[in-house]
Structure 1
């Protein structure tokens, strides 16, 4: 019985340590990192858009889609610590306080991840029409979060 209690205690301690290990840096750093990630995704979205609206270059689309997929799957949620709706990274954060505790957040984030993964998959086919269709779905997934949790710039 003591061994079972010891193993359970060690497991709980490991879980607690891993959860706290995800929080790295000062609040300002966390805001700056997530702002940088979103700017990188915006640049990548612009690259895809330029390809679907202009001359299609499969390699450029794959590169951009892979960047978006990597960020979407990077566990950036650790950069949204309570209180990070206030403060400054590179500029004032635009995160709305409603982000914290929102029952819709998980669904919105999951959809974005799925759409980003699908974008990378579709990009690899080189099918310009399919890329354009998936780009629209990915854009809608981005917009769902923006509409709900991002303040307009002043």
Structure 2
């Protein structure tokens, strides 16, 4: 395991443990709602980056959106997948597949890949080269799709 990957994995675990104390205070339905809010915010920021790549490119806008995504990616959202959050609770619906709760190794791999892609996107956006941003954005999108494909219901 390379040093960057190891650092990302350890950082993720450390954040997850810190986040667990906060997430433990939330009811399962609140955990679902909170993680969905985080994913919605990331999606909105992905849309902002895509709009910049498809239209008039604004490096400050792309950098801000990329930093928001990286911030959420590194926030320890894994702690929001606590017991009881694997199924719908009343009006609170989830699209998570049960495998997310049993495939720890696979989940760890997609989580680390996503965090690395989000961090790379933020670093690349700060440099401002549109072609490099486009490539980093593609990798970030691939990391999102990898998790959706394995662990999200259609």
Shift of 1:84: 0.7
Q: Deviations over 1:73-94 (max 9, x none)?
A: 0001110012211124874100
Distance 1:84 1:136, change over 3 A: same
Shift of 1:24: 2.2
Q: Does 1:52 align with 2:53?
A: yes
Q: Which residue pairs with 1:9 in the alignment? A: none
Q: Which has the higher contact order (CA 8 A, sep 6+)?
A: 2
SS in structure 1 at match of 2:127: coil
Would you tell me which structure has more helix in proportion to its own residues? 2
* Unaligned segments of structure 1, at least 5 residues: 1-16
Q: Which residue pairs with 1:100 in the alignment? A: 101
| Cα pair 2:62 2:125 within 8 Å, conserved | yes
Shift of 1:21: 2.1
Determine the C-alpha separation between the residues in 2 that align with 1:58 and 1:18: 33
Distance 1:20 1:69, change over 3 A: closer
Determine the C-alpha separation between the residues in 1 that align with 2:32 and 2:146: 20
Q: Which residue pairs with 1:124 in the alignment? A: 126
* Unaligned segments of structure 2, at least 5 residues: 1-16
SS in structure 2 at match of 1:94: coil
- Which residues in structure 2 correspond to 1:4-153 (within 5 Å)? 21-22=21-22, 23-88=24-89, 91-102=92-103, 103-152=105-154
The structure with the largest alpha-carbon Rg is 1
Aligned length: 136
Determine the C-alpha separation between the residues in 1 that align with 2:47 and 2:91: 21
TM-score w.r.t. structure 1 length? 0.83
After TM superposition, the runs of 4+ consecutive aligned structure 1 residues lying more than 3 A away are 17-20, 88-91
